[in-house]
Amino acid sequence: MITHIVLLTPRETLTVDEREAMAQAMEHAFSGIPSIVRARVGRRRRLGYSYDELSPVQFEFLAVLEFHSVDDLDAYLKHPAHLELGRQFRSCAQVALANDFDTVEPGQLRSLVDPDTLQ
């Protein structure tokens, strides 16, 4: 599984219309691109644990998208709905981070650290 993780803090000056346009672009992309296995979106919640302030950058939102393969992630990234989402994302972001991860079930975690399987 390939997991695409996006962290975002929107500009403080974002208008209601800009927020709505971003939400619509996300809904359209996440529900309309067939290569996505699962999409989850969240807003940061600070619960008072010590790790709350460890990060040098405090992101407000997160999106986690799962794909069966790199080819499926690539199809998502090239899809017209994602291209629109990317345009909205860049215009709305104050700070953002996107990374891709090979992910497995806990019983398979050794496959991630076995030197023979690392790329």
The residue among 108 and 100 whose pLDDT is bigger is: 100
Q: What is the pLDDT of residues 3-23, one digit of tens each?
A: 999 999 999 999 999 999 999
Q: What is the mean pLDDT of residues 27-36?
A: 96
Q: What is the pLDDT of residues 41-89, one digit of tens each?
A: 999 998 989 888 888 888 999 999 999 999 999 999 999 999 999 999 9
Q: What are phi and psi of 6, to 5 degrees?
A: -125, 130
Say which amino acid occupies 87.
R
Domains within the chain, CATH numbers bracketed? 2-113 (3.30.70.100)
How many residues make up the chain in this entry?
Answer: 119
The residue among 118 and 91 whose pLDDT is bigger is: 91
3-state secondary structure of 37: coil
The two tokens of residue 32 are 């309309």
Q: What is the mean pLDDT of residues 30-40?
A: 97
> Residue 109 — pLDDT band, cuts 50, 70, 90?
confident
The two tokens of residue 119 are 């790329």
Q: pTM higher than 0.85, yes or no?
A: yes
